[in-house]
Structure 1
Amino acid sequence: MRELQLDDRDRQILNELQNDGRLSNADLAERVNLSPSACLRRVNLLLESGIVAGTHLVLDEKVAGFAGTAYVFLTLAEQGAEIFQAFETRVRAVPQIQECYLVAGQTDYMIRVVFADMADLERLHAEVISRLPGVVQIRSALALRTVKRTTKLPI
């Protein structure tokens, strides 16, 4: 795969869209000092390049009814492709697991879960997380306050 070559205008477009993905093409074109047709052409090329992984609406977790966030570190019994695949397939099916990473270090995976209250977290732990394929050890850390959370990359 060849490296994507972005110029300053492309970076401007991507930064504006990361700030507000609902910008109209006319507003975006004005912000980056392009004609609407030239701006749309560039946006389409950026979309086709694969740099845009997707677009989505980001909800406020607390307003949506999820009072807490936990980071859970999981160790599996073994490290084989089959167990990893089974684990990852099951994780993808759990809506309250918001993120999952295969990590290097003392644990195998780190997941981020959202929960409504402590009873919900206890249920997630007992009925979901501890029953994920291959899990033999669970360590959790509860987030007390969100200091920074972003999906915006420094382009």
Structure 2
Amino acid sequence: MSWKNNTSITLDRFDISILDILMKDNMTPQRQIAEAVNLSAAAVQRRIKKMTLASVIHSNIAIVNPIMVGLPITLIVEIELVDVRNDVIEEAKTRLLNMPVVQQCYYVTGQADFFLILHVATMADYENFSRNLFFTDPNVKKIRTSVAIDSVKVGHTLAIK
């Protein structure tokens, strides 16, 4: 999921209010959203469609509690590459995108080149992941890993003004 500005769109206060509700619970009925923002349900539906077509709304997803599905360990992984040419970076992006254990992946500036968020069942699962990454990709220079103690805030809400 790459965040690109595909279409020019100006959001008004109604759009922002609708987004605020959807980011908290995208299953909120449109009639309930309409009441909350003082629009008709049809107007809310049109605005949601417009924002979806313009990629303001990228996708509708369920945020799953990883513990409840047997993945109690959350890891934040920094990856530093040996070579950072554009073609190598694009290859790394594609490879990380296709790894199911990688829940989130960010190409970043600074000492690391990528930050990953992983959810695993056991540390042995993470060891297998990191070994596969080290042994099959000679461009990986270093991996630094932090283990999350607690999930304080999880989700994709934004402070839109």
TM-score, length of structure 2 as denominator length: 0.86
Q: Following the alignment from structure 1 to structure 2, what is the Cα–Cα distance between the partners of residues 47 and 87?
A: 28
- 1:129 CA drift (Å): 5.4
**Contiguous gaps of at least 5 residues in structure 2:** none
Q: 1:93 to 1:48 in 2, by over 3 A?
A: closer
| Kept after mapping to 1: 8 A contact 2:133/2:140 | no
Pick from 124, 127, 136 the counterpart of residue 131 of structure 1: 136
Pick from 83, 86, 91 the counterpart of residue 88 of structure 2: 83
Q: Following the alignment from structure 2 to structure 1, what is the Cα–Cα distance between the partners of residues 138 and 57?
A: 32
Q: Following the alignment from structure 1 to structure 2, what is the Cα–Cα distance between the partners of residues 33 and 146?
A: 35
- 1:5 CA drift (Å): 2.1
Q: Following the alignment from structure 1 to structure 2, what is the Cα–Cα distance between the partners of residues 104 and 41?
A: 38
What is the correspondence of 1:1-155 to structure 2 with a 5 Å cutoff?
Answer: 4-128=9-133, 130-132=135-137, 134-155=139-160
Matched length: 155
| Kept after mapping to 1: 8 A contact 2:78/2:143 | yes
CA RMSD of aligned residues (A): 1.9
**Contiguous gaps of at least 5 residues in structure 1:** none
Q: Secondary structure at the match of 1:62?
A: helix
Q: Kindly, what percent of the aligned residue pairs are identical?
A: 28
Higher mean displacement: 59-68 or 80-89: 80-89
- 1:139 CA drift (Å): 1.1
